[in-house]
Structure 1
Amino acid sequence: MKKNLYTADASAVGGRSGHVRSATGIIDLDMSVPEGLGGKKGATNPEELFAAGYASCFQQALLVIAQKAGDRLDNDTSVKCSVTLFQEGEAYGLSAILDVDLKKFDEAKTIDMVRQAHKICPYSVGTRGNMEVELRVQGKAVPVEAEENIGVAEEK
Structure 2
Amino acid sequence: MSDVLFTSHATAKGGRDGHVKSDDGIIDLNLVNPAGGSKEKGTNPEQLFAAGYAACYDGALNLKASNRNKEIDSTITADVSFLKDQSDNGFKVGVTLNVEIKGVSQSEAEELAEEAHEFCPYSKATRGNIDVNLNVKAV
Task: Give the structure-1-normalised TM-score.
Answer: 0.82
- 2:4 partner amino acid: N
Matching of residues 1-156 of structure 1 within 5 Å: 2-34=2-34, 36-74=35-73, 77-88=74-85, 89-138=88-137
Q: Which moved more, 1:52-61 or 1:85-94?
A: 85-94
8 Å Cα contact 2:12/2:18 also seen in 1: yes
Task: Give the superposition deviation at 1:126.
Answer: 0.1
State how many pairs are aligned.
136
- 2:47 partner amino acid: E
Structure number with higher relative contact order (C-alpha < 8 Å, ≥ 6 residues apart): 2
Matches of 2:116 and 2:137, distance apart in 1: 16
SS of equivalent to 1:105:
coil
Provide Cα deviations, 1:57-114, integer angstroms capped at 9, x if missing partner.
100001110111122222xx21011001111242210000001010221100000000
Provide Cα deviations, 1:14-67, integer angstroms capped at 9, x if missing partner.
111110000111000000101x54133420000001011101110000111011
Q: 5+ unaligned residues in a row in structure 2: which ranges? A: none
The percent identity for this pair of structures is: 39
**Greater percentage in strand:** 2
CA RMSD of aligned residues (A): 1.6
Moved over 6 A (4+): none
SS of equivalent to 1:97:
strand
